[in-house]
Amino acid sequence: MKIKRFNLGRLFYNNKIVMLFSALISFIFWVILSTSASESTTKLITDIPITVALSESAKETGLTVFGADDIKAEVSVTGNRLILGQLSKNDIQITAQQSANMINSTGKYTLELSAKKNSILTDYEFASSVSPKFVTVVVDRYKSQTFDITPNIKFNADTNYFVAPITLSDPQLTVSGPESLISSIESVTVEASINGILNKTIDLNDLQINLFDKNGNKINTKNLTLSITKVTATIPILQRKFVSVTPEFTSVPSGLNISALSAQINPNRVEIAAPSEIINNLNNVSTEPIDFSQINLENYQFEKSLKIPSDCRNLSNNYNAIVKLNLIGFQTRTINIKNIKFKNVIEDKVAASHTTSLSVQIIGPISQLRTLTDDNIYAEVDLSEKKDFIGRTELPAKIVFNNYSNKCWAFGSYKINATINKK
């Protein structure tokens, strides 16, 4: 009799056998997982924020807790793996225990911490006390104040150069936090020390800001909020140079050579300091302008301020100069001007003068004054600012000379009465 050999592989071609085998394997895995999930284990939950509650009466008096935000706690919990796998720091609340109305004034308070469940996940137990067990917080009123930052930088500079005041990228600092701590701030500084001799402008970056009390003790900024923590300090090292002072004039007669007036200036030069790229191209500074309409034989000396460029410093501390003009060879003559002209009259309007003549004081070289006639001079009225005006008004008049008297000028200011109408 022939015996059939058993073939294990053929079983997996039998659907009933395969279904039975799959069910058995699934049951075994379910038993393993259920057993594992139900096993008790311990997990450390870290980085949990701390809550310090104040009573309503304390809040009404303006009290605030400082320092609690920087403290984090941790606690161990016990439970099955499935629950603890879902548990995070957001599911636990750490609070500072205190008796009713315990915190009712400013000061430092040491409080004991406790943990409680803070979510729908509750199937676990706390396996340890909170760490740290106690915390110290500051209770005070909130205050914000702005302080000037003082640079305290030690250095030596070349004596051939000028050291301008140190500038900071942020000259002021706003500090916020406990009122008592803010009130103790006496000074705010940045400090540095530089070796060697400086002969050019330098920048010191990322200088740490320091706070000091009235006794010179450095203040801990732990509970303070600073608008900035670092600044850049610039130490301007400037070149020095003496430059001449030159007078400036306006309304200069077209044919007059200013040098003919032989102006005397006191001081005739000043020392300035500036960056090299500026000072190398600067040989003089001018005065505020002297208007020729203010010059005559009795009024020939003027005190004018110096026009120092904004990026330069005046080391001489002379901010004004006296300009004295030499009018030898010039004379005065009064002429009645009857020739009055209008300038910039728009097309649809007409202008007429009700002033028939102007008595004008003329200053000029003797040679030109002798031959000066009405034909060489007239009064000009500019209507460019009166384009929309209709009516009668008073207008300024400019005294104009032709080429035969181009070294003369009129002293004073003049006005005429005129009417402007539509055509």
Can you spell out the DSSP letters for 369-413? HHH--GGGEEEEEE-TT-TT--EEEEEEEEEEE-GGGTT-EEES-
For 299-319, the pLDDT digits (tens) are 999 999 999 998 899 999 999
Same-domain check for residues 46 and 103: yes
Q: Are 250 and 288 in contact (CB under 8 A)?
A: no
For 26-62, the pLDDT digits (tens) are 656 554 555 554 578 899 999 999 888 888 888 888 8
Residue 104: which pLDDT band, with cuts at 50, 70 and 90?
A: confident
Residue 1: which pLDDT band, with cuts at 50, 70 and 90?
A: very low
Same-domain check for residues 175 and 118: no
Residue 203 token pair: 């920048």
User: Domain of 351?
Assistant: 330-422
Taking the complete model, does pTM exceed 0.85, yes or no? no
Percent residues over pLDDT 70 in the chain: 90
The backbone region for 378, taken as left when phi is positive above 0, alpha when psi lies in -120 to 50, beta otherwise, is beta
How many structural domains does the chain have?
4
Distance CA 113, CA 93 (A): 10
Q: Tell me, what's the pLDDT at 337?
A: 93
* Burial of 213 per CB tally in 10 Å (0-12, 13-18, 19+): middle
Which residues neighbour 171 within 8 Å (Cβ) at sequence distance 6 or greater? 148, 149
Query: CATH number of the domain that 366 lies in?
Result: 2.170.120.30
Residue 206 token pair: 């990322």
In DSSP terms, 135 is beta-bridged to: 111
User: Is position 194 within any domain?
Assistant: yes
Same-domain check for residues 245 and 230: no
Query: CATH number of the domain that 49 lies in?
Result: 2.170.120
Same-domain check for residues 286 and 219: no
Distance CA 192, CA 213 (A): 19
For 206-243, the pLDDT digits (tens) are 999 999 999 999 999 988 999 999 999 999 999 999 99
Same-domain check for residues 116 and 176: no
Query: CATH number of the domain that 185 lies in?
Result: 2.170.120.40
Residue spans of alpha helices (H) in 122-249: 179-183
What are the strands, taking DSSP E only, across 298-357? 301-307, 313-314, 320-324, 330-337, 340-343, 349-353
Distance CA 365, CA 384 (A): 33
Residue 2: which pLDDT band, with cuts at 50, 70 and 90?
A: very low
Same-domain check for residues 338 and 389: yes
Same-domain check for residues 285 and 259: yes
Residue 165: which pLDDT band, with cuts at 50, 70 and 90?
A: very high
Residue listed under structure tokens 């310090």: 52
For 392-416, the pLDDT digits (tens) are 999 999 999 988 889 999 999 999 9
Q: Tell me, what's the pLDDT at 57?
A: 81
Same-domain check for residues 345 and 375: yes
Q: Is residue 278 classed as helix, strand or coil in its secondary structure?
A: helix
For 338-352, the pLDDT digits (tens) are 999 999 998 889 999
User: Is position 19 within any domain?
Assistant: no
Residue 99: which pLDDT band, with cuts at 50, 70 and 90?
A: low
